[in-house]
Amino acid sequence: MSDALEAFRAEARAWVEENFPPSLAGKGMGMEGELDGDTKADFELWRARLGEKGWGAPTWPQEYGGAGLSHPQAKVVSEEISRVGGLNPIPALAGMGITMVGPTLLEYGTDDQKARHLPATARGEVRWCLGLSEPNAGSDLASLATKAEDKGDYFQLNGQKIWTSGADISHWCGALVRTDPSAPKHKGISFVMLPMDQEGVETRPIRLISGASPFCETFFNDARAEKSDLLGDLNDGWSVVKRLLQHERQSQTSAGSPMASAKSKAIQDVAKEYAGTDDSGALADGDLRSRLVNHLMDARSHSLTVRRITAEAKGQVKVSAAASILKNSATRISQTKSELTLEIMGAQGLGWEGAEFTAEEKNTVREWLWGKAISIYGGSFEVQKNIISKNILGLPETTQKG
């Protein structure tokens, strides 16, 4: 670690210690709704301070609400926040704003668009959703049917989106729409941004097997998107969305589960608790032990790879080709962890509700079900393998894209 970075760490640590409300220490994500009186005010204070500091989106330029930090510096910031048991709530509050929309806006947006959209997003005040998938299209994004008609100053949208994450609580939406129906499938598509709070937009939450409803069906009935909110060139939306999805893959390469709390127990400790140990301290269930250590080795090799690729990509703007590997690997590790935890907890790992199951047990079940989605949204295993096979290994394209 360089001296400059160590100096930055000292600064960051001082700032965090001064500004982080201790009442929030150890509180996980998704807690916002459960906060009461004082804690809620502290939460709002913490968000505002982070936003003001530019640490909601620390690597964005200062003029657009960021702090202009390098990636290693941003990592230091998040480490220092973790150190005091805190979390940065802004990425979650912004929906798809920090991880996907923002970085794409920085590359494709006009100065006006950046100025209008980025600062409030970086403060966690504007939540974004994305209208990409449509019913019956699956992974085949380009076959979309939502129409955008040119009405002079604005586009008039008609059609249906599905799997729009958080659409029911978002302020803005980035949508892929067909602007030239006569062009071939990948042409004639544009990427527009539109406010969700308008008459022509309706959302309907989808209940998932985990019981949660993080996604919606979203209906556009004569919805309005201003021409000034067209991102990228007209009919070049495919380039925009490809970049957007690269940012998504990048944000999904960490092997932790999205619902994992800040300080969850190591899985091997959970295993020892439920399955017991033999005289030598080894897990009593030898078959489970082998699979557990295999999982832990997979997880370790994944995080070592993230570190290696980050180090190798130092200073490069382009997303490394290996990011495609990390997506599948992260998904497999996260899903295996859930399956193993369920197995470890045995009959207690099946709790849905009620006092007879611990919060940890019930959480394991929900996480397990929720985690099945990781391999579906953002490109299936198969799509990633096609990408690796073709783009990285240079194998000839097959007639089979599925």
Partner 1 sequence: MIRDQAQAWATEQAPVAAFRRMRDAGVANRFEPATWESMVEMGWTGILVPETYGGSDLGYLTFGVVLEQLGRQLTASPLYASALVGASAVLLGGSDAQKEALLPKVVDGSEILTLAVDEGPRHTPGTMATAAEADGDGYRITGRKAQVLEGMSATAFIVAANGPNGIGLFLVPADASGVSRTALSTVDNRGYAHVDLVDVRVGGDAHLGDADVLEAVLDRARAGLGAEMLGVASQAFDMTLDYLKTREQFGRVIGSFQALGHRAADLYSQMELARSCAEAALMAVDAGAEDTAELCSLSKAKVGDFLHEMSNQLIQIHGGIGMTDEFDAGLYLKRARALEPLWGNQAFHRDRYARLLGF
Q: Which does 375 bind (CB under 5 to 8 A by kind): partner 1, a copy of itself, none?
A: partner 1
Single-letter residue type at 70: S
* Partner whose binding site includes residue 396, from a copy of itself, partner 1, none (CB under 5 to 8 Å by kind): partner 1
Among 128, 154, 155, 163, binds partner 1 (CB under 8 A): 163
Listed in sequence order, the residues at least 6 apart from 53 whose beta carbon sits closer than 8 Å to its beta carbon are: 15, 19, 67
Our finding on whether 203 is near partner 1 (CB under 8 A) is: no
391 near a copy of itself, judged by CB under 8 A: no
Q: Among 134, 248, 361, 367, which one carries the catalytic annotation?
A: 248
Rounded least distance, CB 179 to partner 1, Å: 22
Are 371 and 334 a contacting pair, CB within 8 Å? Answer: yes
Which of 40, 147, 186, 372 forms a contact with partner 1 (CB under 8 A)? 372
DSSP 26-82: T--TT-GGG--HHHHHHHHHHHHHHHHHTTTSTTS-GGGTS----HHHHHHHHHHHH
* Residue 186 engages partner 1 in binding (rule: CB under 8 A): no
Kindly identify the residues of this chain, within the stretch 35-94, that bind partner 1 according to CB under 8 A.
none
Among 234, 259, 296, 319, binds partner 1 (CB under 8 A): 296
* 397 sits near a copy of itself (criterion: CB under 8 A): no
Residue 302 contact, options a copy of itself, partner 1, none, Cβ 5-8 Å cut-off depending on partner type: partner 1
CB contact set of 146 (below 8 Å; sequence gap of 6+): 131, 134, 157, 158, 159, 160, 161, 175, 176, 177, 178, 220
Q: Quick check: 398 binds a copy of itself (CB under 8 A)?
A: yes
Least Å distance, CB 165 to partner 1, is 12
Q: Which is nearer to partner 1, 229 or 285 (CB)?
A: 285
262-291 residues near a copy of itself, rule: CB under 8 A: 286-287, 289-290
Which one of a copy of itself, partner 1, none interacts with residue 252, CB within 5 to 8 A by kind?
A: none
For partner 1, which is the closer residue by CB, 8 or 274?
A: 274
User: How many CB atoms lie under 10 A from the CB of residue 228?
Assistant: 12
- By CB under 8 A, tell whether 394 contacts a copy of itself: no
Name which of residues 312 to 331 contact partner 1 (CB under 8 A): 322, 325, 328-329
**Would residue 356 show up in a list of annotated catalytic residues for this protein?**
no
| Interacting partner of 84 out of partner 1, a copy of itself, none (Cβ under 5 to 8 A depending on kind) | none
Instruction: Report the residue from 92, 106, 169, 206 that binds partner 1 according to the rule CB under 8 A.
Output: 206
Q: Does 376 bind partner 1 (CB under 8 A)?
A: yes
Shortest distance in whole angstroms from residue 296 CB to partner 1: 7
Q: Which of 216, 345, 363, 378 binds partner 1 (CB under 8 A)?
A: 345
Closer by beta carbon to a copy of itself, 16 or else 271? 271
Check: CB of residue 299 under 8 Å from CB of residue 329.
no
Q: Which residues pair with 215 in a beta bridge?
A: 165, 206
Per-residue CA distances from 341 to 251, 334, 361, 368 (Å): 24, 11, 9, 9
Q: Residue 113 or 139: which CB sits closer to partner 1?
A: 139
Cα–Cα distance measured from residue 366 to residue 259, given in angstroms and rounded to the nearest whole number? 9
Task: Give the burial string for 122-151 (b: 16+ CB within 10 Å, else e).
Answer: bbbbbbbbbbbbbeeeeeebbebebebeee
42, interface contact from partner 1, a copy of itself, none, CB < 5-8 Å by kind: none
Give the DSSP letter string of 261-303: -TTPPPHHHHHHHHH-B-TTSSBS-HHHHHHHHHHHHHHHHHH
- Helices 267-275 + 323-345 axis angle, to 10: 20
Residue 390 binding a copy of itself, by CB under 8 A: no
Q: Is 158 exposed, middle or buried (CB count within 10 Å of its CB: 0-12, 13-18, 19+)? A: middle
Number of residues forming the site for a copy of itself (CB under 8 A): 7
Cβ neighbourhood burial of 81 (10 Å; 0-12, 13-18, 19+): buried
Binding of partner 1 at residue 120 (CB under 8 A)? no
CA-angle at 57, arms to 67 and 128, nearest 5°: 145
> Binding residue for partner 1 (CB under 8 A) from 302, 337, 341, 367?
302
Rounded to 5 degrees, φ, ψ at 11 are -55, -50
* Residues near a copy of itself (CB under 8 A): 286-287, 289-290, 398-400
**Looking at the annotation, which residues are catalytic?**
248
